Amino acid sequence: MDRKAIIEQKLSAAFAPSHLEVVDESHMHRVPEGAQSHFKVTLVSEGFAGVPLVRRHRQVNEVLAEELAGGIHALALHTLTPQEWFAKGGKAPDSPPCLGGGKQA
């Protein structure tokens, strides 16, 4: 199973999301083809109600601890309640362009 599928499976099981989108953005970075190292996650769950943003991200990082320790370099997280999701028009922001491993172009 590829990393994207594993991420989707684990987050679905842990958060019962009303919306989950996992995008492999590795192609936007200077990594070998098929690296599966950079992901954008949009996770909408009622379970985030009343939970501060930092805690939401920590919860996701805990669920994905094995993947983060084994090859995922970057994980852009958009963790929202359904109400927050609808207030944003059902769209997560676009990821910024890669600056080449911390080197600005």
For the question of whether the overall pTM of this predicted structure is more than 0.85, the answer is: no
> pLDDT-derived band of residue 33, with 50, 70 and 90 as boundaries?
low
> b/e string for 27-51 if b means 16 or more Cβ within 10 A?
eebebeeebbbbbbbbbbbeebeee
64 domain residue, yes or no: yes
Range of the domain at 50: 3-87
98 domain residue, yes or no: no
103 domain residue, yes or no: no
Given a cut of 90, whether residue 98 has pLDDT beyond it is: no
81 domain residue, yes or no: yes
Model confidence pLDDT, tens digit, residues 4-24: 899 999 999 999 999 999 988
- Specify the number of domains making up the chain: 1
Given a cut of 90, whether residue 31 has pLDDT beyond it is: no
The answer to whether 40 and 5 are in contact (CB under 8 A) is no
CA dist list (Å): 72 to 67, 76, 78, 89:
6, 11, 17, 29
> pLDDT-derived band of residue 67, with 50, 70 and 90 as boundaries?
confident
Contacts of 93 (CB under 8 A, 6+ apart): 78
> What's the pLDDT at 57?
96
> What's the pLDDT at 3?
87
- CATH number for 42: 3.30.300.90
104 domain residue, yes or no: no
Helix (H, G, I), strand (E, B) or coil at 44: strand
24 φψ region: left (φ > 0), alpha (ψ -120 to 50), beta (else): beta
Nearest to 97 by CA among 7, 10, 1, 27: 27
40 domain residue, yes or no: yes
